[in-house]
Chain A
Amino acid sequence: MSKMTFKTEGDKHLIVTRRFAAPPEAVYRAHTDPKLIQKWLLGPEGWSMPVCINEARPGGKIRYEWTNGKGGGFHLTGEYLELEPYRRIVHVERMHLPDPTPDNHVDTRFDPDGKGTLITMRMTLPNAQTRAAMLATGMEHGMEASYVRLEGMI
């Protein structure tokens, strides 16, 4: 059973949820500490993230570069808008394929759930067309980080 859920909301939103066994402090750290991010945000076997810039402060930059070690690669850039430590992260991001995709505004909440954490990612796309394009490209099955990795993989 997948622990992940996905739903659309209105014309422009996508909501992804996932439960984790660790408390919000740890899950939040795993989303903001480059050394931790590089351990999990990788997608299929064989991919790595040699460049992980994550300035976890308002206005801070995000840059993830992935490679398959065989010449394939691509990257994602973004900026932080708001951070409430261990509770909430608001940022914008875009993929470079190599042309940048429209900005995806992502509001991630880390809510205590028993001894664990419930993550809720609320993504807002510029318009219904952009969301439809993302849905068409597999967004309903997850966040675009994985999607980007696959883009570069094949």
Chain B
Amino acid sequence: MNDLDAAFSALADSTRRAILARLAKGEATVNELAKPFEMTQPAISQHLKVLEDAGLIVRRIEGTKRPRRLANSGIEAMDQWLAMLRNALEKNYDRLDGVLAGIEKQK
């Protein structure tokens, strides 16, 4: 089992979530990941390490390359992240329903 706290901490960074989104489309090397994000390889590698330590991605060895792909727990963590966002927004709007009901009463 993957530690959910570590997964969510890893997901708290927008670059790392974007990396996961990219990997959701398929395997990619550090080079391939560095290009669209306009980051240096060491910077990308640092993000990859955090994602790997959190169990969200795994690496494969292919000659001198180390392509990364999304781990199953990575997909689950993304789903949970999205569910949390949806809940937060719906909570906002549910609260707004209450605020509006209060305004109507004051009339």
Give the B-binding residues of A (Cβ under 8 A): 2-4, 18, 20-22, 26-27, 29-30, 36, 39-45, 97, 101, 129, 132-133, 135-138, 140-143, 145-147, 149-151, 154
Interchain CA distance A143-B91 in the complex, whole Å: 12
Give the A-binding residues of B (Cβ under 8 A): 8-9, 11-12, 14, 17-18, 20-21, 36, 81-82, 84-93, 95-101, 103-104
Q: A138-B86, A141-B86 are in contact. List 11 more A-B contacts (CB 8 A).
A: A30-B96, A36-B99, A39-B99, A42-B91, A129-B36, A136-B18, A142-B89, A143-B89, A146-B85, A146-B92, A154-B8
Output the nearest chain A residue to B107 by Cβ-Cβ distance.
Answer: A26
Query: Mostly helix, strand, loop or mixed at chain B's interface?
Result: helix
Query: How far is the CB of B57 from the nearest CB of chain A, in Å?
Result: 15
Complex contacts, B100 vs chain A, CB 8 Å? 20-22, 26-27, 30
Output the nearest chain A residue to B21 by Cβ-Cβ distance.
Answer: A136
Query: Nearest 7 pairs between A and B by C-beta?
Result: A142-B89, A136-B21, A22-B100, A138-B85, A141-B86, A40-B95, A146-B88
Partner of A30, one of B11, B12, B87, B99: B99
